[in-house]
Every structure is written in structure tokens, then in C-alpha cells.
Amino acid sequence: MSITREIGAQYTPGKGTLFTVWAPTAGQVDVVLKDNDKIIPLQREAFSYWTALSEETGPGARYTLRLDEDMERPDPASHFQPDGVHEPSVVVDHTSFEWTDINWKPLPLEQYIIYELHVGTFSEAGTFQGVIDKLPELVDLGITAIELMPVAAFAGSRNWGYDGVYPSAVQESYGGPQGLKKLVDACHAAGIAVVLDVVYNHLGPEGNYLNDFGPYFTDKYNTPWGKALNFDDAHSDHVRNFFIQNALLWLRDYHIDALRLDAVHAILDTGAKHFLQELQEQVEHLEQQLGRPFILIAESDLNDVRIINPTEKGGFGLAAQWSDDFHHAVHALLTGEDSGYYSDFGKLEQLQKALQHGFVYDGLYSEHRKRTFGSDATANPARQFVVCSQNHDQVGNRMLGERLTKLVSYDMLKVAAGLVLLSPLTPMLFMGEEYGEENPFLYFVSHSDKDLVEAVRKGRKEEFSSFTWQGEAPDPQSEDTFNQSKLQRSYQHSEPHRQLRDFYKALIRLRKSAPALLRPDKARLHVSADSHTQVLHLIHSGESPYLYTLFNISNQPQKAKVVKEVGASWKLVLGSDENRYGGTGIALPQEMSAGQEIELPAASVTVYQSNIIL
């Protein structure tokens, strides 16, 4: 039976604060209250959990944990680090926030249209309040869920968030715990779900004091970020509990709807019950307690359906995972890039396969990986695959942080939008793509350790070695690098950018209103591809009226013959080449029928709907 125990400083009104920490190597642990220098000795309990109730300690109290009357450290399970990652922790009252989302009805995954954003660069303010101020824009666009890049406390004020060192503490420069709750409450009031990106595969380098408390890391494995967290070695029950309690905290106390689990392939666990399965089970238990559903979405580099298969089929039971194959297929096809992992992609048939099955590499040999890779995802529902044409990784991990805006034509940006939003899979946009944001999204940090800064600079250069990108990587430590990554919102004064955003809005309206897209079904999807003309036919025939989309992924007009597999006549409902979407306005047939040949504009998306209800 797994160990489940709340940790950190748990404040209860009228009772005080219960301090609990796991420290198996310590001979004595004390709480040091920094406001009055009072020492509270903790008592050792089973499995080396140290605990004590302080009736007089309340919200706002600053404290550290003292190990063996010698070393003082912030609380590993701290809920707030207002003065930075090296300074005292602060007690938080999670009962004091006045939530107004009692009538919020969590959305099913099929209704998620996700918008990934970075709190620090999404708005001028770079705060949770800054996001709240921009929510009307996202409502107008049609977004149903925002995905926040990690907000766990990190060193300095600028970071992507994957260098967090206090998984349960909300970054002070963004607005702290109250700011995040205000944002979630405002999102729910606007009809928007909140996905939070969490990192359970490593901790950042600066302010990472976990090893001082116990064996949180193991020498058994290594990750790209150093030693692996200890999910299956001696004492691992308590490391697992540390992260499970973190997940429950976000869902329970912050009303988060879904968690995106970063790079789960680096959660190394060979035990009989994988950490992800245990996490899913604990989340389901919380669902039963609260009477509210939650969603876990994995980012994985494994193409392994075990992550999303139900436990009765030997899976971990998570709701969904990202499909890198879809992104790579789209990106390589639209840009022609063929270095790094893009060397495995670039064929129209691969995009066809990603749309039909979820994965391209499903037991195939990968030339880039030099091994057979992936598993068959045909039987998994379409909603289980989150897809995009851009995200923080694929943009920000380019040397110059170029968005697709800088890599393909204006018309091809609309093709990318159509491929994502009209796919049967769960769509995700990256902030700013909806109007063709031209500012890059670069990698940035604000570490205080000079040696660490140099190591980060060197590491970034090495990361780009397998790609053929030209130029010099911007300095991650520079504040200019961060400022260059802020959104300009150019659609407010640029007509082409406004027209592109209008096209995104039209696609989202169609996804929300077309019966064939309300419950997309891979089994009721017809996809065909002509590699000679680079035309892709996509027919959704799950619910009537059916939708027929033709994608011309070439830079020349192309003739295409209407497929006969679905016997219907079709009427035009949307075209990316319309004048109002910044196109040439070339006239398209208002109706078409099986076997008819039509000419498609260069780099275009054309959508027809069946004339009769079938």
C-alpha cells in the first residue's frame, strides 16, 4: 500500500499550523520561526516524517527548517517563497480565498482548445493579473483552456519554469498563491479551463536543497538534467508521495482542471506500479472526494500507448499525451527542414498517418534514433493526442527562437492552423501564433550563480549541434533576451495579422459548431494524400453533416479530384484564400460532388460541408 501523507506547513483556522517534513538522514529537525526566532522541535514519526503542531503560528509566518541544529533550509514542500529560493518559506492559508467558481462545470477533454502561454511574456505586466486582463482576447478567439508553463518557484524573476526548485510554491514575481487563485477563478468565470504544467522529472540547479533532507535522487539513472529523481530505489515511497501531494495541492487548493506532466520519459521507474499509474489512482481518489473530474496529460518522447491505456489493459490510465510526431510531420512538411529529429519526417503520408493514428512511428525504424520506435495507437481515441504546429519547446529550443511566422509564408500559416484545428485530435495553440506573432520565444534565465550561467550558455550551444541553424544563440541570462520574447499583439494595428486571427477564429467556431467535430472519431475519418500535388483530403464522417477539408500544402495552385469514398455533394463553408482572411479571393466552386475536379489556390485550406443530412 502506497504512503500518502500531507507534507509542508498545513494551516487550519482555529487550530494553527502543522509542520511535516520527511528527513530520514537527520537526527533532529526544528522549525525556526524567523519573525520571533522561536524554535519548534519536530517529533520523529514512522518512516522518518518529522512533525509538530504550532497553535500560535498562522498565515504569513516566515520559517526555515533546521537540520541537526546546524543547517537551515527552506521547506522542500514550501507553498510560498516571497524573498526567493534561498530565503525562508511562508505559511499560506488555503481556506481564505473567496472562490466564485462554485457553478463551474469542468470541460470534457473533447472540448479542450488549449492555448499554451508563459506568464512572464504573455502580457506587458508578466503576471497572473496580466493574464486576467487579457482573458477577453482569449474568449473572443474561442479558447476553452489555457495551459500555463510551470509557475513553481525558481531562481530570479525570469525563467521558462522548468528550473523550479519548490514544486508547491507559486512564483512570487508572477503574483504568488493569491495571484494564481485569482487567475483560475477568473478563467472559470470566463468559461476557460486551466491546465498547469508541472515538472516531476527533475528540479532546477539553483536553490535545490532536496538532497540535504534525504535521498530524493538516485545514482541508478541519469537524465539530461543530471541525477534522476528517486522513484524506484530505497526510500522511493516518500519521494513519490512528495510529488503526488504536489499534484493534489494544485487540483484541490488551486482548482486547477488538468495537469500537463513534463517529459514523463525522464520519470525513471522500473517498479511493479509505475509512478504515473499511482499518481492517476490518487487523482481519481481526489475526484471521488470532491465530486469533480480532473485530467492528466503527459508529455512523452516514447510514443508508448501504455501511458494512456486504461489499467485493465496494462496502462497507466492517463487521459492524454502530446504527439510530437504530429508536430514534426507538419513542421518538416511546411518548412522543408530535415536536420535533427526532422530528418525522420517530411513526407505527406506521415502527416496522413499522424491524423489517422496519432503516431507516425508506431513500431517503425527511426533513422534519427537508430532504432525501432513507438507503439500502435490506432485503437486509442482521438482526444487522447494533444497536437500543435508550435509550442514552447519547438519554438524556444530553436537557436534563435523563431516562430513558424518567420519560416513559412503567410498563407502556409493558415494551412498549419487548419491542420491543427480541423484534425480529430485535441488542438493546442502557442501564444501569439493566432495572429502570426513575429517576436521570437527565446530561452531565458536569471540565475545568480555565475558558474551556473556559463554552464547554461555552454549547454544551449551543445543542444543545437545536430541542427544546421545559422547565427549565434542569444544570451539566456540577458534581460533583453526575455524582453524580446514578449508578445507584441500586432493584430491590433496590422491588417494581415488581424485577418490571420480572424481565420483562427473561424476555424475555432467551426470546430465548436460542426457536429462532425464535436466528438471526433478516428475510425470515422477518411484521410487521403497525393504526394505529387501535396494535397491532403480530410473527411470527418462521424456525425452529420460531414466535413470535407482540402489542404494544398504546396506553393502552387493544384487540381484535386473529390474522393468518392463518402457519397455526398458538398457546399463551401470556409476558405483560407478569401479576401477577409488576407487571401487572393480566387473564386472556388460553391458546390462540389464526388469525382469532380477542382482547382485549389496555392497554400490553402478549403472546407466543404455535406449538402444533405446523412
Residues designated as active site: 262, 299
β-partners of residue 550 are 537, 606
**CA angle (414, 420, 423) in 5-degree steps:** 125
CA gap 373, 367 in Å, rounded: 10
What are the percentages of helix, strand and coil residues in the chain, rounded to 5?
30, 25, 45
| Number of Cβ atoms within 10 Å of the Cβ of 254 | 19
The C-alpha atoms of residue 530 and residue 559 are separated, in whole angstroms, by 11
State how far the Cα of 306 lies from the Cα of 155, in Å rounded to an integer.
Answer: 35
Do residues 82 and 172 lie in contact, with contact meaning Cβ atoms separated by under 8 Å?
yes
**Assigned C-alpha cell, 538:** 480530410
Q: Residue 49: beta bridge partners? A: 22
Nearest Cα neighbor of 6 from 17, 14, 15 is 17
For the CA atoms of 488, 492, 495, 497, the dihedral, rounded to the nearest 10 degrees, stands at 40
Nearest partner of 173 among 92, 119, 134, judged by Cα: 119
* Bridging pattern class, strands 166-170 and 226-229: unpaired
CA distance linking residue 336 with residue 328, whole number of Å: 11
Q: Which residues pair with 145 in a beta bridge?
A: 114, 193
* C-alpha distance across the termini of the chain, in Å: 53
Q: Is the peptide bond before 545 cis (omega within 30 degrees of 0)?
A: yes
> SS3 of 581, please?
helix
What's the CA dihedral at 281, 287, 293, 298 to 10 degrees? -30
Query: Can you spell out the DSSP letters for 502-566?
Result: HHHHHHHHHHHH-HHHHS--GGGEEEEEETTTTEEEEEE-SSSSPEEEEEE-SSS-EEEEPPSSS
The alpha carbon dihedral of 209, 215, 219, 224 has a sign of negative
